[in-house]
Structure 1
């Protein structure tokens, strides 16, 4: 598959930025509280810490997710509720918070999500990013019966969905923080 679109690395590398009227420490306090994700994520409905100290490097978070039928409706995606696990890989208060998605065997995948925060006058610039190096088992399962053109269309449609999710997440986080 290395000569196909699914074999390219990184498969996805996206980021979005939003200015938030709060200190980097306050922004970090909110975005590192993963059980609160239901307040801002288009798919994650929250979850719980499965092991380790909340928000600490090495801790594992079990997330509950929900995807509607309308999301890239033509593709064979998981619909309804499903669960994921992620390991915290960076936790620097006021600066960065990142997690890597895990396989069912709790091995790291090349699927990294996170937030970076920079001071900006009396507020902060919050960056939300996602990088998938090589395709995960989940991506391979989605595209297994697709031809190259369908794979390319899926990657294009999924990229657009992810870009919108990053923007929506940041707008919702901004609202949560600025209304506190």
Structure 2
């Protein structure tokens, strides 16, 4: 964990030859997440109006066994619930991962879109401050060197994931 209270933080951006509205509508279509995400296979709205602040969605995920192999993380299928905290079409869609009692954790994901000539720039960002429930359990089982290794290697993995995600979104949106 860094001195500013951040455990993980990654960001990737890419220019897309499409309108901000087209990009926003694509990345906020939960059912399509598996088309671009290395881990999220899709999701569905479980509470509230789809895409609105205050709504909750379930994200379905799949992590392959070879991902940071030594790390004691969930492998295979799992789900999370997330609360939409900002939704301004076509510029920002932000959500936080909820804990087991639906409390907000400092685990925030976002899509940010800004116009750029006849296209736009898509930014995918993730920040984790205080450890989530699951990560707190993992960190409790690691010594200091293990925690440092985990943060370094997991941050690199997350960075690769968000880069791959924006690259795939670009291909999908530009193909129409």
Asked if Structure 1 and Structure 2 have the same fold, meaning a TM-score greater than 0.5 normalized by the shorter chain, the answer is: yes
Q: What's the counterpart of residue 27 of structure 1?
A: 23
Quick one: distance in 2 between partners of 1:48 and 1:104?
18
Q: What's the counterpart of residue 149 of structure 2?
A: 153
Sort the Cα spacing of 1:89 and 1:142 in 2 relative to 1 into closer, same or farther, 3 A. same
The equivalent position to 1:77 in structure 2, one of 73, 79, 97, is 73
The equivalent position to 1:17 in structure 2, one of 6, 13, 20, is 13
CA RMSD for the aligned pairs?
1.3
Aligned residues: 176
Q: How does 1:74-153 map to 2 (within 5 A)?
A: 74-153=70-149
What are structure 2's unaligned runs of at least 5 residues?
A: none
TM-score scaled to structure 1, two decimals?
A: 0.94
* Partner secondary structure for residue 67 of structure 2: coil
* Partner secondary structure for residue 35 of structure 1: helix
* Partner secondary structure for residue 106 of structure 1: coil
What are structure 1's unaligned runs of at least 5 residues?
A: none
Runs (4+) of structure 1 moved beyond 6 Å?
none
Cα deviation digits, residues 124-166 of structure 1 (max 9, x gap) = 0000000111111111112222110111000000000000000
Q: What's the counterpart of residue 172 of structure 1?
A: 168
